[in-house]
Structure 1
Amino acid sequence: MKQPKNFIIISPHFPENFSTFAVCLRERGFNTLGIADIAYDQLSDTLKNALTEYYRVDDMNDYDQMYRAVAFFAHKYGRIDRIESHNEHWLELDAQLRTDFNVVGYNLTDLEPIKKKSSMKKQFRMLDLPVAEGRVFSDEEDAFFLAEELGYPVIVKPDSGVGAGDTYKIKSPDELTKLFNENDMTNDFIMEEFIPGDVVTFDGLCDQEGQIVFYSSLDYNIAVLETVENDSDMYFYLPREIPEDLIEMGSKIVEGFQVKERFFHFEFFRTYPNSELLPLEVNMRPPGGPTIDMFNYVNEFNIFAEYANIVKENQFKAPINRLYNCAYISRKANKIFNYTHDNEAIRQKLGESLVGIQSIPDIFSTILGTEGYIVRCPELEELFDHINYISQRQEAVS
């Protein structure tokens, strides 16, 4: 295969840490061609220096503008070899552009099994994997019929959606009535039985032949849905040791969904009380928030550079050492609780175990908090001690 040279990055500035993709691709000789809807002056200096050229559109949802931007780059630089955003929001846009410009990667005909949760469920069954019972419902009457069949509580969410947005835990017929009265339910929604258990993930990167070259996992203290519902603090962590059953099932899904030259982020339930794995959904992108950076903190490598190596020459060159367990701990500014320890005390207590403290943009704060703390330790016991120290809080005195 001829080595690619022209790599179009859709929305290269967002999220901010993804700008490193442009840096590493440029370092490996690619023409890095950015397209987004913000002014060039609003790009970071790091990103400006990493882009060969930038094309601003007024509206990224206007496909004609996006098509013209890609056509401009194709006219100026020659054949476009890759188009990628690494962002689920632009999954369909990326595929449409690849289809129209005959670019390697997911095109429009590939999307349904990786975009619709009902299609993912069908594919899981074809792979002989267990799934939560449920289906897309047609209208309110059908929703009530299905809820009675599954038994309350049930989970209702868009068949095609991103993250925990518009996801509801419905505990009774009254709550289901309220859902229909207060929300636009005209798009396709899927209803599933509620599965008691913890959410775990299998995340990683595949090479051009579909071989997994790196994998990791996330464990959450509470489900993202609960974080949104209750405005809770949360933490998640990357363990050094990955369970064998998770590797086995995750690898089977990678093969079954034919993942190639892509990051992946698969979600599972680890059920109560028998600790069995149940696949929930697939996402053909890196995990969100700071997780992709946490890959680096665990292994002391540069995952962005290794992705560029895969695209350029299909080689993952860094050793995978898994030196640390790494956690992200959120804290939210709210009126009910005060945190026991301020940032200075946390810095003094944790020392080198504290990788950094981040201020979180409002768009992510519902899940990731207003401040986020990244911590790493070789031993899980010490990691949990640090998590508890950061999370400790007391009721405010009125």
Structure 2
Amino acid sequence: MSVADVPEAITQAHHEEWARVVAGLARRFGDLDIAEEAAAEAFAIAVERWPADGVPPNPGAWLTVTANRKAIDRIRRESKRDDKHKEAQMVYDDPPEPLGAVDDERLRLIFTCCHPALAMDTRIALTLRMVGGLTVPEIARAFLVQETTMGQRITRAKAKIKAARIPYRVPSAEDLPARLTGVLTVLFLVFNEGYLATGPDTDSVRHELTAEAIRLTRLIRALLPEDGEVAGLLALMLLTEARRTARVSASGELVPLDQQNRGAWDATMVAEGHRLVRERLATGMAPGRYQILAAINAVHTSARDIRDTDWSQIVALYDQLVHLDPTPIVALNRAIAVAELDGPDVALAAVDSLEDKLAGYHAYHATRADLLRRLGRSQQSRSAYDKAIELAGNTAETAYLTRRRDQLG
């Protein structure tokens, strides 16, 4: 069993233990390769033994002890590791590490791993792997790159940490602002993987990921209550999570926003999300990326019916977002809103201009398929649906796209 396979092999109940064990070993031994391989061995043993012997009373402690022993065994086998060997001998006698500015263990590990010495994309990918518990394929899909490319990126990050002797130090209060952007991106991507899982072998919606991302973002807001982007991310998550129960039908098919039962949305989450958006608007300060995304979702969730949606306001918000975050994904989402305001022909021209950047992204082809369908170009729409179905990994989304394609006749 490879390291990358282990998170899928364990139950969801113990998924977060993977991140905690790996990050703890990395801090202790200063070597990510040892950390991941020792954790993988411990989880592989758990996968083999627990079904027969039963889950131990304290699974986390069992996994930590087993992984530490595996790490020590590897260090002992290697030559020229005398200093680490001595450190390993004291593994059970180490004094407790000071908590620093962050009390929550999971959040503390995320801040620790989002080290500013690494490039932003690299630290985010590495933290998603080590602490977020996401697999290399899931991270690759989040960044719209090939799995091999992402694997190489993470490997290079580990090598840089080792070569530069970057310590796994618990961040102080002064460290938090420099690491915040990376931390928020990690939580945003973990939430997205839960909101619409990208792999075919997982649940379509992974509530354990969205709930954990919201919990950790609430903790950051308590630490940094004046930060607008923290509030914006929390509002965005709440307004998105509020729609969770209405997003997948009883038959397991994705339900798009315009067809959802709005009465099934979580009114408490919607109200809290709207309140956070209003509070940020009241400050009069220029909004950041997450605040604008939250405002877009606030417009959507304010409409009692899809026909009441203020599309002109949504397009205006996307115009602001394009200046802040001029990515192909933002341009694609803006085009979807433009279709409702100016028509599918205008939107299709904007979408087609993104082909060279989004040809491997299923949502690009799904958007084209829908616009072509609305324009009566059924044959081209069918081809676009075929491509979207080929690229989509989420089973609920695949079922929806297949039905829409088959309705073309």
TM-score tier (shorter): under 0.3
Q: Which has the larger helix fraction? A: 2
Q: Which has the larger strand fraction? A: 1
Higher relative contact order (CA 8 A, sep 6+): 1
Larger Rg: 2
